[in-house]
Amino acid sequence: MSDFLTDVKTLRENARKNIKKGPVTDSYGADLPKVLDVLNQSLATELICVLRYTQHHFAAKGLNAESVAAEFLEHAKEEQGHAELIAARISQLGGDADFNPDTLSARAHSEYETADTLTAMIKENLVAERIAISSYTEIIAWLGDGDPTTRRMLEEILAVEEEHADDMANLLEKD
């Protein structure tokens, strides 16, 4: 079996060499500036989803509005949690999380769409979840083994986005 681990002396020297880079070491295998850009796009996407779900929560009216509005609020809170995870990872990688409201929509993969009916709201949220699922799936594949920590975080977020899409699809069936 061949040696795969750098000798201890070299590991220690490398750890001290670029100490200001925090967790980003020489073994980081992804394009860091691009990862930070993609994560800021993901952050914008999550924030747009928070805003859309929250608006739909308060705008929901009709016979089934109470239970659907509660579902929208639950999803808004989960999307907020995703945004916080992504912002923390951006910071951990030495970047700046971009919360600038003036550029939020332009950076987001999903759109902020309001609607007049519960059915239209559910459809808009399902479309947004499908966009997030496609986007995160591509990002995860692109990251590969280059940044396993970011990849795992996005895999966990992806699983929740898939649950959200399933929830919205089930609400459409009930409508």
- The domains of the chain are located at 32-174
Domain 32-174: give its CATH superfamily.
Ferritin, core subunit, four-helix bundle (1.20.1260.10)
Of the pLDDT bands very low, low, confident and very high (cuts 50, 70, 90), residue 108 is very high
Who wins on pLDDT, 72 or 28?
72
Of the pLDDT bands very low, low, confident and very high (cuts 50, 70, 90), residue 1 is very low
Mean pLDDT of 167-171: 97
Of the pLDDT bands very low, low, confident and very high (cuts 50, 70, 90), residue 3 is low
For residues 175 and 169, give the distance between their C-alpha atoms in angstroms, rounded to a whole number: 10
User: Taking a C-beta distance cutoff of 8 angstroms, is the pair 111, 48 a contact?
Assistant: yes
Contacts of 33 (CB under 8 A, 6+ apart): none
154 alpha-carbon distance from chain centroid? 6
Say what the pLDDT of residue 4 is: 66
Say what the pLDDT of residue 104 is: 97
User: Taking a C-beta distance cutoff of 8 angstroms, is the pair 78, 160 a contact?
Assistant: yes
When mean pLDDT is compared across 23-27, 71-75, 148-152, the lowest value belongs to 23-27
Say what the pLDDT of residue 137 is: 98
Say what the pLDDT of residue 175 is: 64
Mean pLDDT of 146-168: 98
For residue 39 the two structure tokens come to 């994560």
Indicate whether 140 pLDDT > 60.
yes
